[in-house]
């Protein structure tokens, strides 16, 4: 499985792997990490939601926010990588959100 780079606002590059949601039931990822819901726009991968979780499989398999990402933002792919450190996961998510401004993360912050 290849890795895919996503750059944050700090210019740090994070390597992610693709995961098929349907495969998580048989091969769960019981680790903490970051995940991205993405869409294609003119052949370019765009992040529509950046998240972090203590248990990646539970977060990725949750009905929300995936169904909203698909229905309202055209998400078609999930990327992930593991990281056991909660603070690092949050910093990474925030770094990616600052650069890419995923619509679902921006909506979350404007609702606060």
Q: Which DSSP string corresponds to 56-82?
A: HHHHHHSHHHHHHHHHHH---EEEEEE
- How much is the pLDDT for 25? 66
CATH of residue 40's domain is: 3.40.1440.10
For the chain, what is the domain count? 1
At 87 the three-state DSSP class reads helix
Q: What is the pLDDT averaged over residues 77-86?
A: 94
102: domain range?
4-110
Residues with Cβ within 8 Å of residue 68, at least 6 apart in sequence:
104
43-75 pLDDT, tens digit per residue, is: 999 999 999 999 998 898 888 899 999 999 999
Q: How far apart are CA 27 and CA 14, in angstroms?
A: 23
For residue 2, what pLDDT is reported? 77
pLDDT value for 62? 85
Question: In angstroms, rounded to a whole number, what is the distance separating the alpha carbons of residues 23 and 25?
Answer: 6
pLDDT bucket at 112, cuts 50 / 70 / 90: very low
């Amino acid at each position: 499985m290849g890795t895919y780079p996503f750059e944050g606002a700090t210019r740090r590059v994070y390597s992610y792997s693709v995961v098929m949601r349907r495969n998580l039931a048989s091969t769960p990822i019981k680790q903490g990490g970051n995940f991205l819901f993405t869409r294609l726009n003119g052949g370019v991968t765009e992040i529509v939601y950046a998240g972090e979780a203590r248990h990646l499989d539970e977060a990725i398999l949750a009905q929300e926010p995936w169904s909203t990402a698909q229905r309202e933002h055209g998400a078609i792919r999930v990327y992930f990588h593991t990281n056991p450190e909660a603070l690092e996961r949050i910093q990474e998510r925030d770094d990616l959100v600052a650069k890419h401004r995923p619509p679902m993360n921006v909506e979350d912050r404007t609702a606060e």
